[in-house]
Amino acid sequence: MIFFNQLPQDWIVVLAYWLSLALLILATVTLIFIFLLRIHLILENKKNKQLKNLWQPILAQSLISLPAELPKIRKKEISYFLNFWNYYQRSLRGEAKNRLNKLILRLNISKIIIKQLHQYNLRKKLRAITALGYLQETNAWKNLLILSHHPASLVSLSAARALMQINTEKATPYFIELLKSRTDWPPSFAATILKESNKQIISDALAKAVLETKTTMLARMVEYLGVVYPETAAPSLKILIEKCDIPEVLASCLKVLHDPTYLEFARKSLCHPSWIVRVQAANFMGRMGNKKDLDALTPLLSDDHWWVRYRAAQAIFDIPGLGKASLEQIKSQSTNEKAQAILAQAIEENV
């Protein structure tokens, strides 16, 4: 403040003038940029609509038989075309998908699609990855393998899926290693890829990988195996149950097991120090328990953790021969406030 007071008055005016001019220029440039961006968006939408009107009837006809003549497609239009083509591929099964693949071959654009894997535009890159997976394009293998290690989770996951579509047997070892290391992959998307894959090829490899995983991903790997291939999971999970004491892993085992053989393990787990294990043990009892398990579940109704209390009440309701009557009886006899509250909620939810 003292510095500005020492400046000549005209310097302050000049400084204010140039600052105002700079702000005016900045505002003008911003408005021009927004205007140009809007124009670009309008033109892009117009182009997209024109190509949709051109190619949608051709794609629809190709589901039955390929047209005798096809319009020429320009290089810059291919990404727009792939958007429609991928949409149809996602919606179809069987021979119709093969006819769409033949359409790509007729257009002779496979090499251009492979080149689009190097696009900086993420949307175009993902369209190309998806299309090459549907095409089962072996010439794209090396590029897709590199992209499966891309830092962006959506790119790497899409590339891994394409590899599995091209050659499941060859891609399985790479895919499982990625499953074990990519903590950023959404589990639901990864599970979808497993469900799409050849069960005979991947189930044994995944079961083996579960036993070899020694990282924080072990619990998630157990869920992949159990959710996708439950009948293959049991032998591997039995070994984990006997040797592993990590609560997250034990909870995952209980979550995916659907075999009454493990009832005794679940009963012991109802008293486990970790609440996440107790929750899954209660869930297991709801699936596989019987009337004899009422006494073991009742103490959990007053557990310190709400989810344990809630799942215990639901398990009592779900076990054949117990149900709502048992909840009401326990409520009438209980003096614990937590148990009273959770029992009242369970009874209300299961009216």
pLDDT for res 261: 86
Query: What are the residue ranges spanned by the domains of the chain?
Result: 259-351
pLDDT for res 246: 85
pLDDT means over runs of 10, the chain (351 residues): 53 80 90 89 79 79 79 83 87 82 87 89 91 92 94 93 93 90 87 85 83 80 79 78 86 87 90 93 91 89 92 90 84 85 85 61
Tell which residue, 116, 118, 121, 42, has the closest CA to residue 85.
116
d(CA 36, CA 38) in angstroms, rounded, equals 5
Q: What count of other Cβ atoms lies within 10 Å of the Cβ of residue 128?
A: 28
pLDDT for res 67: 77
- The label of the residue with tokens 């995983």 reads 213
pLDDT for res 170: 93
- In the 8-state DSSP scheme, what is residue 8? -
pLDDT for res 127: 92
pTM, 2 dp: 0.74
Q: What number of CA atoms fall less than 13 Å from residue 134's CA on the CB side? A: 31
pLDDT for res 351: 61
Q: How far is CA 8 from CA 39, 97, 306, in A?
A: 47, 79, 71
What region does 18 belong to: left with phi over 0, alpha with psi -120 to 50, or beta? alpha
Tens digit of each residue's pLDDT (9 = 90 or more) over 201-253: 888 888 888 888 777 788 888 888 877 777 777 777 888 888 888 899 899 88
Show the CA angle centred on residue 307, arms to residues 214 and 230, nearest 5°: 45
pLDDT for res 282: 94
What long-range pairs does 321-325 form, CB within 8 A, spacing at least 24? 321/290, 321/291, 322/291, 322/294, 324/350
Domain 259-351 has CATH 1.10.3720.10: no
What long-range pairs does 221-226 form, CB within 8 A, spacing at least 24? 221/179, 221/180, 222/249, 222/252, 222/253, 222/256, 223/187, 223/252, 223/255, 223/256, 224/179, 224/187, 224/190, 224/191, 224/194, 225/256, 226/252, 226/253, 226/255, 226/256, 226/257
Look up residue 15 and give its amino acid. Answer: L
Alpha helices (runs of H) in 213-322, residue ranges in sequence order: 218-228, 230-243, 247-256, 263-269, 275-288, 294-297, 306-318
pLDDT for res 5: 54
